[in-house]
A and B are shown apart, each in its own frame.
Chain A
Amino acid sequence: MPAVQETIDQVRQIDVDQYKYGFETTIEMDKAPKGLSEDIIRLISSKKNEPEWMLEWRLQAYSRWQTMEEPSWARVRYPKIDFNDLHYYAAPKSTSGPKSLDEVDPELLRVYEKLGIPLKEQEILAGVEKSRIAVDAVFDSVSVVTTFKEELKKAGVIFMSISEAMREHPDLVRKYLGTVVPQSDNFYATLNSAVFTDGSFVYVPKGVRCPMELSTYFRINEKNTGQFERTLIIADEGAYVSYLEGCTAPQRDENQLHAAVVELIALDDAEIKYSTVQNWYPGDKQGKGGIYNFVTKRGDCRGKNSKISWTQVETGSAITWKYPSCILRGDGSRGEFYSIAVSNGHQQIDSGTKMIHLGKNTSSRIISKGIAAGVSENTYRGQVSAHRKAENARNFTQCDSLLIGDRCGAHTVPYIEAKNSTAQFEHEATTSKISEDQLFYCLQRGIPEEAAIALIVNGFVKEVIQELPMEFAVEAQKLIGISLEGSVG
């Protein structure tokens, strides 16, 4: 309940067109020259002191990428990206791998403070009420700090930047990297494989329930920089982990590219819960600037009775192209996808999921809530398929769209394919507008228009908000309110 109030307050405080996280920070940066070539990839690899096999892996991806073409099937439009006009590596100069918070540039800590991300462990520890979350902060191309490492270590959980993991746990990284999203998967994933700079690595050993929420905050700061992070999460047999991801970027006139790859692997009886609150800069009122968010996220329910659950709240980015998916390989495995996608202004979203049923008795559930305002386009694109051997595959899909105003668009594009006759797939879809009646009813109770819309929208997305960890649920509700501000009148 208080969240709604906060949403309203927040909306009031902020001018239309003002992105809260749009500040820029001046920090001395170590940058690679613009452009992409084998030399740049070698440079990235050497900057990160990577093992030789990693460099080869990157180069292999790069040569593959050169033969590929940008996909054009999504319902999004943007000018051609000049991939040679980007910096592929940018790192704060003073952070050559800090060991602890004391070694982190205080300016950087201030950035995260401004973003409301608690990096200071002692503060979190001091606050009795607050739940504890371990954070990995990624600034442009590198991870600047990971908190609570020691405590996690005691539980046997590995949580560190992927660059560190490559040096400290090369066998694990090598065993799993690229096994869910192969190098050649798609244009952006292949590009990412060649140039990814950092991201988080999580390994939860057999039978361990990760003692706290893990989280990564991504921040793009530098101009003309692409952010290519790579996250790899492995839950070994019977393990459980909940992971949160948040993202922001400064307000800039140019578009910035973000092409991440996330791979999740759940072995027998393991469970991974992955939540995202994506709030990259969406561009201004005229549609100038903003992040191109071209992301490949996929989970592999490799073991029997494993479970992977994606929850996403997408409010930012000029363009979002993103389909967090589950491969339901293990018998009895389960995949879930809960999504809220909010588009306002000139934003374009083409997002959804794929549930690929391979094993027997696998089940999946998709709940997607799209909210379109302004002149935005909001597309749900989802695929549910059952393999020949996927006996008793079950899927339930519910896809609801809410339109605010009459200049935006909502589209639902489902692909359903069952090669096994025992499969049962259900699909429900609705499109509605906030009705004049609802709005008038709220107004008549003394609730002003913007607050009324925030209230109605929060009601619309409630099913998904409930899936988010508590801390994120509040933030998500606020964000949705802010994103829709100025959408009426």
Chain B
Amino acid sequence: MLEIKNLHARIAEDGTEIIRGLNLTVKAGEVAAIMGPNGSGKSTLSYILSGREDYEVTEGDILYNGESILELDASERAAKGIFLAFQYPVEIPGVATMQFLKVAMNEQRKYRGEDELTTPEFMRRVKEAAAELKIAPEMLRRPLNVGFSGGEKKRAEILQMALLEPKLCVLDETDSGLDIDALKIVADGVNALRSPDRAVVVITHYQRLLNYIVPDTVHVLYKGQVIKSGDKTLAHELEANGYAEIIEAAA
């Protein structure tokens, strides 16, 4: 589903290279965890995948379902099924969460040449998905992310993910700022979306989240490269021994 080949990328503004020859393959149905110390390029990778213009790809390619997505802008990538759950979801004042959901869902449908959802159908879907994530209807009437608690913000991200039904989900530090109860709700939400035709990339600092969202593969990112890949036991190893050993071995 996702194939990143020898990717080099830098910050557009000052030319700082962040990703330096990254290779990664994630198959449909797979949950891949990306771990790494601070500053290894984890969040940058999520932005580059989703098409943020602040970064420039200088070499290599990103294939999604076999096709390069480098020429597509962020909204096109989204409509094609790439979803990024933000580490810090952005506030949109004055725009009710419900309204935002409707606009997003219908814009994506429009891009794919599908009819807009009827209001009853839209309401039905939202209600169902919100109930799963224990999101109160009152929260949906509030402006998106404005005054939301950390847990509410992350649940709102997963709600959007559930409703937009993406094929490639990228979760950027979804566990940050969550207490254990909220973490469970969010993880359940993600697990419910696991399916043979969907891939999930979980970017995280800690093993903790991976107890709830159990990955098929684990990749260690360091200085913009994947320096080691393995199965879920690699995450436990990291938890026990830290990154130093692996970094040293790779050097």
Contact = CB atoms under 8 A, between A and B. Distances in A.
Interface string B99-110: 110111011100
B196 interface: no
A445 B75 CA distance: 7
A451 B74 CA distance: 14
A117 interface: no
Q: Which interface residue of B79, B92, B108, B116 has the most chain A CB atoms within 10 A?
A: B92
B72 to A, nearest CB: 11
Contact of B89 (A441, A458, A463): A441
A1 interface: yes
Nearest to A459: B94
A233 interface: no
Interface residues of B, number: 34
B154 to A, nearest CB: 14
Interface SS of chain A = helix
Interface in B71-108: 73-75, 78-79, 83-84, 86, 89-95, 98-100, 102-104, 106-108
Contacts of B90: 435, 437-438, 440-441
A451 B78 CA distance: 15
B50 A444 contact: yes
A440 B52 contact: yes
B173 to A, nearest CB: 16
Interface in B30-63: 50-54
Contacts of B92: 438, 441-442, 455-456, 459
Contact of B95 (A437, A446, A458): A458
A335 to B, nearest CB: 24
A460 B99 contact: no
A442 B75 CA distance: 8
A11 to B, nearest CB: 13
A463 B94 CA distance: 8
A1 B75 contact: no
Interface in A1-36: 1, 4-5
Nearest to A463: B94
A38 interface: no
A428 interface: no
Interface in A424-457: 435-438, 440-449, 451-452, 455-456
Contact of A458 (B53, B84, B94, B106): B94
Contacts of A451: 103, 107
Across the A-B interface, the 7 shortest Cβ-Cβ residue pairs: A459-B94, A459-B95, A446-B78, A443-B74, A446-B108, A462-B94, A445-B104
Interface of A: 1, 4-5, 435-438, 440-449, 451-452, 455-456, 458-463
Given A438-B90, A440-B52, 8 more contacts: A441-B86, A444-B50, A445-B78, A446-B79, A447-B75, A447-B103, A461-B94, A462-B95
